[in-house]
Amino acid sequence: MKKLGMGLVGPGFIAAHHLDAVRRLGHVEVVGIAGSSLESARKRARELGVAHAYPGYRELLADPAIQVVHNTTPNHLHREVSLAALRAGKHVISDKPLASTTQEARELYEAARDAGVAHVVTFNYRGYPLVQQARAMIAKGKLGPTVFVHGCYLQDWLTDERAYSWRLDPKRGGASSALGDIGSHWCDLAEHVTGARIVAVLADLHTAVPTREAPAASAKAFAGTGDKTARRKVKITSEDLASVLLRFDNGARGCVTVGQVLPGHKNDLRLEVSGRLASLAWRQEQPNDLWIGHHAKANTVLTRDPALLDPAARGYAHLPAGHPEAWADAFRNLIADAYAWIGRGGTPDTRPTALPTFADGYRNSLVIDAMLKSHAAGGAWQPVDDFLEPRRAKGKRG
Ligand SMILES: NC(=O)c1ccc[n+]([C@@H]2O[C@H](COP(=O)([O-])OP(=O)(O)OC[C@H]3O[C@@H](n4cnc5c(N)ncnc54)[C@H](O)[C@@H]3O)[C@@H](O)[C@H]2O)c1
């Protein structure tokens, strides 16, 4: 079988995990990468074991050996690179958030829809087997009507005022920082697992570290605090903390807390859904356990075991029980779904049902935008602008 050719633009932190996932599939060839310069692309190509480095993304897009483009650039470049890739007729896998603004996200969604190619946004937390298990249980009514959806996404890598990232610069990261960067993952996950949509939000945002000491030269994605480079003071205007009340279209209520300055919390994403009959809780840092809560009988913990999972979730588990699967495996599951879709031509009716698309990326940006508007209005309830993708035909798994 002839391998599909992929190229990657933006070879930084997350890029290595895109390449790792693609390589684990076995039927995709990593053709080459493009960075901010030929020199940086060559250096990264050597580090990542990639055969070819292009002078820039335009040269990469012009290569007919590449059918699929992974866009892992900083947020402000997502629109430019993804649009150019779509116009070149490539399938596009963009990292999140889809774009820097809702207008750009809408433009990308419409361009992808019209291009007739596969379009994917890496909301990779969908790729965990027990996330799919939770989704299947809720869809089958095991929890009864949903009443409450709550959780958090907490990190601590921005706790030190000497930590800096392009994410904190609105020109490169977008108007939102913590919500756009990680709140976006939680909102996508909550909607995906419950099958319900967030229709209104009330948000309280805060910047706990309003001034940072950024490295004077251009910073890496997650500039550590130990480096000795010269520093400059930077005023931070975007939030590093957020508390948000939520209303869902099925009547459920909810809340989420998001923060990146919370000591001890590394990648602490938690989601709990309570229905009238039972509750479910899942934690990203202990992803092989799903807590199932009851009122009138003992609570249980479902430990990931392919034999015990719903058929819709089983294909996302690859190892027997007792052999933990984690972040990189979930990421690979999402990329596997993406390439399964690409293999079928990227037509709307062949999309694996768990796979997040540019439509989901656009929808997600509307939710985050509503949170920013709610806070700007002094903490008032803010409706989420309506966007209903035309109903898709029944999708497939894998
Ligand atoms: N899905 C996830 O869990 C996850 C995790 C981390 C990051 N991300 C997303 O991935 C994207 C990249 O984040 P990162 O942490 O890897 O950042 P990063 O800064 O480590 O990497 C960005 C890369 O883009 C390159 N770049 C800059 N300008 C470029 C240009 N003009 N052309 C080509 N390349 C250019 C940089 O040199 C760098 O190599 C962001 O959108 C971020 O939100 C997603």
CA–CA separation, 242 and 257 (whole Å)? 6
- Ligand 1 near 12 CB (within 6 A): yes
Measured in Å, residue 8 CA sits from the centre of ligand 1 at 11
User: Which of 240, 167, 160 minimizes the C-alpha distance to 206?
Assistant: 240
- Is residue 159 in contact with ligand 1, taking CB distance under 6 Å? no
Nearest C-alpha neighbor of 396 from the set 346, 364, 351: 351
- Percent of the chain at pLDDT above 90? 92
pLDDT per residue over 303-329, tens digit each? 999 999 999 999 999 999 999 999 999
Does ligand 1 come within 6 angstroms of the Cβ of 72? yes
Rg value, the chain, Cα = 21
Burial class (CB in 10 A: 0-12, 13-18, 19+), 102: buried
Q: What is the pLDDT of residue 2?
A: 83
Tell me if 95 CB under 6 Å of ligand 1: yes
In the reported structure, the alpha carbon of residue 330 is separated from the centroid of ligand 1 by a whole-number distance in angstroms of 19
For the Cβ of 260 lying below 6 angstroms from any atom of ligand 1, the answer is no
> Is it the case that residue 112 has pLDDT exceeding 90?
yes
Mutating to test ligand 1, I would choose from 54, 61, 73, 131 the residue with most ligand atoms within 8 A of its C-beta, which is 73
34 lines ligand 1 (CB under 6 A): yes
End-to-end CA distance of the chain: 18
Q: Which of 8, 9, 14, 122 to mutate to test the pocket of ligand 1 (most atoms within 8 A of CB)?
A: 14
Is 382 near ligand 1, meaning CB less than 6 Å away? no
Instruction: Please indicate whether residue 100, judged by its CB atom, sits closer than 6 Å to ligand 1.
Output: no
96 Cβ below 6 A of ligand 1: yes
Q: Does pTM surpass 0.85?
A: yes
At 14, which helix (H) or strand (E)? helix 13-25
Q: Is the CB of 36 under 6 A from ligand 1?
A: yes
Question: Closest Cα to atom 5, ligand 1: which residue?
Answer: 14
Ligand 1 contacts CB of residue 79 (under 6 A): no
**Closest C-alpha to 140, from 280, 246, 270, 248:** 280
- Smallest CA separation from ligand 1 atom 40, residue: 74
What amino acid occupies position 241?
Answer: L
**pLDDT beyond 50 at 334:** yes
Any residues with CB less than 8 A from the CB of 46 and at least 6 apart, and which?
Answer: none
Which range is least confidently modeled, 31-45, 221-235, 271-285?
221-235
- pLDDT score, position 328: 98
For the CA of 11, the nearest atom of ligand 1: 39
Which pLDDT score is estimated for 394?
45
Three-class SS of 219-278: CCCCECCCCCCCEEEEECCCCCEEEEEEEECCCCEEEEEEECCCCCCCCEEEEEEEECCC
CA distances from 263 to 92, 158, 227, 267, 268 (A): 36, 9, 20, 11, 11
Tell me the percentage of the chain whose pLDDT exceeds 70. 94
Q: How far is the CA of 76 from the centre of ligand 1 (A)?
A: 10
The whole-number pLDDT of residue 326 equals 97
Q: Are 203 and 374 in contact (CB under 8 A)?
A: yes
List pLDDT tens digits, range 157-189. 999 999 999 999 999 999 999 999 999 999 999
Residue having the nearest C-alpha atom to atom 17 of ligand 1: 221
CA of 14 to the centre of ligand 1 (A): 6
Residue 296 near residue 191, CB atoms below 8 Å: no
For residue 10, give the H/E element and its range: none
- Which atom of ligand 1 is nearest to 167's Cα? 43
Give the pLDDT confidence score for residue 397 in this predicted structure. Answer: 52
**Which of 121-125, 147-151, 220-224, 378-382 has the least mean pLDDT?**
220-224
Query: To test ligand 1's pocket by mutation, which of 13, 42, 71 has the most ligand atoms within 8 angstroms of CB?
Result: 13
Pocket residue to mutate for ligand 1, from 48, 59, 77, 95, most atoms within 8 A of Cβ: 95
Q: Which atom of ligand 1 is nearest to the CA of 81?
A: 32
Strand 146-154 to 253-259 pairing: parallel
Q: Which CATH number fits domain 128-321: 3.40.50.150, 3.30.360.10, 3.30.70.2740, 3.40.50.261?
A: 3.30.360.10
Q: d(Cα 356, Cα 354) in Å, to the nearest integer? A: 6
